[in-house]
Amino acid sequence: MQGLAYFTSASGNTGRFIDRLGLPAFRLGAGADPSVLRARPFVLVCPSYSDGEGRGAVPKPVIRALNDPAIRAQLLGVIGAGNRNFGPLFGHAGRVIAEKCNVPLLYRFELAGTETDLARVRGGLAQFRRA
């Protein structure tokens, strides 16, 4: 069974999504050592912070973790969080990570996600688990 890792900033949208998802998840950037992610495959849930040109989309604690090849090797896929109001850059961090790390962008949701988003991600992760 794969694990789950996420980043959430002080505004807490992604954190609220993870809470409602109700699955155990490792929080990046909260002080805990991310090397535990080397142990088994995981899916990353990551919000986006880019400027209007797409720069700086991926939060630094996520970059630091993914710069460890042993962690990167366990990354199965990424779920991007964001806001469609950012136009073509909606959930840009998810796309950047997928391209950098050669993994699928599994899903995107807005802000703290809706019930529909939660159901799709639960279903998607369960399927992913069986695969």
Partner 1 sequence: MKDMAPATALRAVNWNRLEDEKDLEVWNRLTSNFWLPEKVPLSNDVPSWATLRAEERELTIRVFTGLTLLDTVQNTVGAPALMADAVTPHEEAVLSNIAFMEAVHARSYSSIFSTLCSTEEVDAAFRWSEENPHLQKKAALVLDAYRAGDPLQKKAASVFLESFLFYSGFYLPMWWSSRAKLTNTADLIRLIIRDEAVHGYYIGYKFQQGLAQVSAAERARIKDFAFSLIFDLYEVETRYTAELYDGPGLTGDVRHFLHYNANKALMNLGYEPLFPAEAAEVNPAILSALSPGSENHDFFSGSGSSYVIGRAVATEDEDWDF
Minimal distance, residue 82 CB to partner 1, in Å: 9
Nearest CA among 128, 131, 81 for reference residue 107: 81
- Residues within the interface to partner 1 (CB under 8 A): 9-13, 16, 49, 51-53, 55-56, 58, 60, 63-64, 66-67, 72, 77, 83-91, 95-96, 98-108, 110-112, 114-116, 120-121, 123-125, 127
Q: Are 31 and 38 in contact (CB under 8 A)?
A: no
Nearest CA among 40, 22, 53 for reference residue 115: 22
Minimal distance, residue 91 CB to partner 1, in Å: 8
Q: Which is nearer to partner 1, 24 or 52 (CB)?
A: 52
Q: Are 100 and 111 in contact (CB under 8 A)?
A: no
Minimal distance, residue 79 CB to partner 1, in Å: 8
Q: Are 78 and 106 in contact (CB under 8 A)?
A: yes
Q: Which is nearer to partner 1, 4 or 101 (CB)?
A: 101
Nearest-5° Cα angle at 93, 23 to 47: 40
Minimal distance, residue 1 CB to partner 1, in Å: 17
